[in-house]
Structure 1
Amino acid sequence: MPRPFHVQLVTPQGVRYDNDAVYLRLPAEDGYFGIMADHAPLIAALVPGQVSLHRPGAPRPDLYASSGGVVEVTENQTVVLADTLETPEEIDEQRAREAAERARDRLQARTLPEFDESRALGALQRALVRLQVAGKRAAGGGL
């Protein structure tokens, strides 16, 4: 069994997790990456995506929808500072579907003078991540 290391998941609303993990999977600009005990020191930006936290002895990982943030890895200590972290149970799927639809509508109406493509793409990406993580609730877990 992999050795545990300490993980803190923190949002502006407070600490979401402060305990040991054996594996942490995070979304970055170039794709997902994993952290285990004795990982090299690291500071990295996080993009919207699914966070998977594998607790020692747990049958499946804890999943979170993240809207981005930053991670710092030091000696067997990992701190994730995220804008938001939502569990599948916390996600309102209908609201996420509506947000995705609004973002798609904005992307199709590019001619409006106030159109901001990066903002619309970010909103769509966040909504799709929330729907992906919420879908894991019914499926019983994920990565």
Structure 2
Amino acid sequence: MKIITEELEKEFKFKTSRSGGKGGQNVNKVETKVELNWDFQNSIIFSEEQKLLIAEKLKNRINKENTFQLFSEEERTQLRNKELAVKRAIHMIKNSLIVEKPRKPTKPNKAAIAKRLDQKRQQALKKINRGGGFD
């Protein structure tokens, strides 16, 4: 499924605050840290089963208000942090919608069984030959 990023970005809500760390003279004046919040339960883009997938796979990023939350404070400008947060959020959402195929159990082939038994015999012989006489 192709996600329409423009529509998804419209559903994001942003909050800014002062970022910790380096910043020089502007460190206590400029709000460069960006907090992205997304109420995915009320999203019109995704179906109910997709919302369940998102809730399951991104449960560590979902807060008590049941909204997806992401912070970005790596860059020194608010605009760059906002772009990074949006890019990361879209990447996480796309990855959460990928359904993993179940593994089909297969039997080991005859060559693998023979190899395992041969190694087992060699190990047994090694241990038998180790035994020294305690006479």
TM surpasses 0.5: no
| TM score, norm. by length of structure 2 | 0.23
Q: Name whichever structure is richer in helix by fraction.
A: 2
| TM score, norm. by length of structure 1 | 0.22
Q: From the CA coordinates, give the structure whose radius of gyration is larger.
A: 2
Q: Name whichever structure is richer in strand by fraction.
A: 1
